[in-house]
């Protein structure tokens, strides 16, 4: 008991140390962006980028701190931790993401990171990748492990995004490749390296791995918030008609995905009843699957088709693939992030590549070169000059063909997938170091180890071995169908 108290006290002191380090880094390396600086803002009465970005930033902010947090409250004895650790991790990651993203965009004049409302928005998007990874290891890790995992993940994920966007020039409006694919497979690899699945298969640490009627209702609150605000997530960083399409396409994909998830959920169950696991998660897969192509000319019917495919894919993942991975690969995925974020994210990358491969000036006119900047004609070409008359500010590009752009889209997807696995494996090995404490198996999926609980919720007695085995069997039968 004394040993646990000492380790937890050491961990919370480290939280403060990390926050102080963030403060020092902000003092040394950041300043307000010109539009936020009282000395450089040209017109104090002009709303500028705040009016443009803040509404969608606030939507994404709600997704990060409410949607993701409550979506993870399905565990019946882990509600405090699901919402609380989500808030703790996200609050630190947005600070770290501002620094890591800013590193790749330093102002050449003062070598400072310029902080604006768009910095806050992109930091929230980066934090989403960490929260997705958190879903794979939920209930089995300490807060310090989550923070270390997040700090390492943000470094690699922001570098991966910079590589994809600025070097490969692969388009991904909804960050399905850079956030969802990366976050899912990073977290799954960490879970695999930490050996969570092996313990679960042995019947260790899973007495409380299950939902109650009340906890599932709370999780549905998170699902509904995410479902409502996902168009803002996919459309936040694009403008004009691109943003208009992103909102329309995401909304329609979510709608068809929702209906499909309900239908397929009932079809694959023994009694043709809906499974709350599918409804909480698979109904959101359409938002992920349309992400890369959200602002492209997929047409409304195309968005509906993507949602249908995503909904069915996600339900089949929960019903069949997730138990298979646990049974044969010892890969334990608490929230099923592979089914909601991983596979739909890969689908999004493939759809984005297909749409890039068929994109033409007949469909987009000169805005084709805004949609895919690398396809823009070279400098001083007659084609570029003609388009610049219609679209002032259009930049010259690499004059890529449609097939070349599609290839780069697929390359960005592949790199995101591989980098996630490699960096996740390294992170998992770091989290296994002896000096980093781990949550004991008999304390998995319960708040008791980390929170002061109300007296009527104190878990003084562990279930006996027979009861534990019975709960475990019931969970596998009803939740993941092993």
- Angle, nearest 10°, between helix axes 300-316 and 343-358? 150
Q: What does the alpha-carbon distance between residue 324 and residue 175 come to, in Å, rounded to a whole number? A: 28
Q: How far is CA 135 from the centre of its chain?
A: 10
Burial (CB count within 10 angstroms: exposed 0-12, middle 13-18, buried 19+), residue 444? buried
What is residue 56's predicted lDDT score, i.e. its pLDDT? Answer: 94
Reported confidence tier of residue 359, pLDDT bands at 50, 70, 90: very high
pTM: 0.92
2-37+50-358+401-453+469-480 fold: Ammonium transporter fold (1.10.3430)
Instruction: Assess contact for 236 and 293: CB atoms under 8 A.
Output: no
Q: Averaged over 353-357, what is the pLDDT?
A: 98
pLDDT tens digits for range 144-166? 999 999 999 999 999 999 999 99
Average pLDDT value over all residues in the chain: 91
Nearest CA among 253, 240, 266, 227 for reference residue 394: 240
Q: Are 348 and 174 spatial neighbours (Cβ–Cβ below 8 Å)?
A: yes
pLDDT at 205: 64
Average pLDDT over residues 84-98: 97
């Amino acid at each position: 008991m004394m040993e646990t108290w000492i380790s937890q006290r050491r961990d919370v002191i480290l939280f403060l140390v990390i926050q102080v380090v963030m403060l020092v880094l902000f003092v040394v390396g950041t300043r307000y962006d010109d539009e936020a600086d009282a000395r450089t803002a040209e017109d104090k009465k002009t709303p500028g980028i705040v009016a443009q970005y803040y509404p969608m930033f606030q939507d994404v902010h709600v997704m990060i701190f409410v949607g993701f947090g409550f979506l993870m409250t399905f565990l019946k004895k882990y509600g405090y931790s699901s919402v609380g650790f989500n808030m703790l991790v996200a609050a630190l990651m947005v600070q770290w993401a501002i620094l890591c993203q800013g590193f790749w965009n330093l102002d050449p004049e003062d070598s400072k990171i310029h902080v604006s409302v768009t910095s806050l928005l992109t930091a929230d998007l980066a934090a989403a990748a960490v929260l997705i990874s958190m879903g794979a290891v939920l209930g089995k890790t300490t807060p310090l492990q989550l923070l270390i995992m997040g700090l390492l993940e943000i470094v690699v994920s922001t570098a991966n995004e910079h590589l994809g966007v600025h070097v490969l020039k692969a388009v991904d409006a909804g960050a399905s490749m850079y956030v969802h694919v990366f976050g899912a497979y990073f977290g799954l690899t960490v879970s695999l390296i930490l050996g969570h699945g092996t313990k679960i298969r042995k019947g260790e640490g899973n007495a409380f791995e299950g939902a109650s009627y009340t906890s599932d209702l709370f999780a549905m609150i998170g699902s509904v918030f995410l479902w409502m605000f996902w168009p803002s997530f996919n459309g936040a960083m694009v403008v004009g008609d691109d943003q208009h399409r992103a909102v329309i396409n995401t909304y329609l994909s979510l709608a068809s995905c929702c209906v499909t998830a309900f239908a397929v959920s009932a079809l694959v169950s023994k009694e043709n009843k809906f499974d709350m696991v599918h409804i909480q998660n698979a109904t959101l897969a359409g938002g992920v699957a349309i992400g890369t192509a959200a602002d492209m000319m997929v047409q409304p019917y195309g968005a509906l088709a993507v949602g249908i495919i995503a909904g069915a894919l996600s339900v089949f993942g929960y019903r069949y693939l997730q138990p298979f991975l646990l049974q044969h690969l010892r890969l334990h995925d608490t929230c099923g992030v592979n089914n909601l974020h991983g596979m739909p994210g890969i689908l999004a990358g493939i759809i984005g590549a297909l749409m890039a491969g068929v994109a033409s000036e007949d469909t987009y006119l000169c805005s084709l070169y805004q949609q895919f900047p690398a396809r823009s004609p070279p400098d001083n070409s007659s084609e570029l000059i003609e388009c610049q008359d219609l679209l002032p500010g259009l930049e010259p590009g690499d004059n890529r063909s449609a097939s070349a752009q599609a290839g780069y889209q697929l390359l960005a997807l592949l790199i995101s997938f591989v980098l996630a696995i490699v960096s996740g494996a390294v992170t998992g090995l770091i989290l296994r170091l002896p000096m980093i404490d781990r949550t004991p198996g008999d304390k998995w999926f319960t708040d008791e180890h980390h929170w002061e609980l109300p007296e009527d919720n104190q878990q003084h007695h562990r279930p006996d071995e027979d009861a534990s085995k019975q709960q475990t069997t019931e969970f596998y039968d009803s939740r993941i169908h092993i």
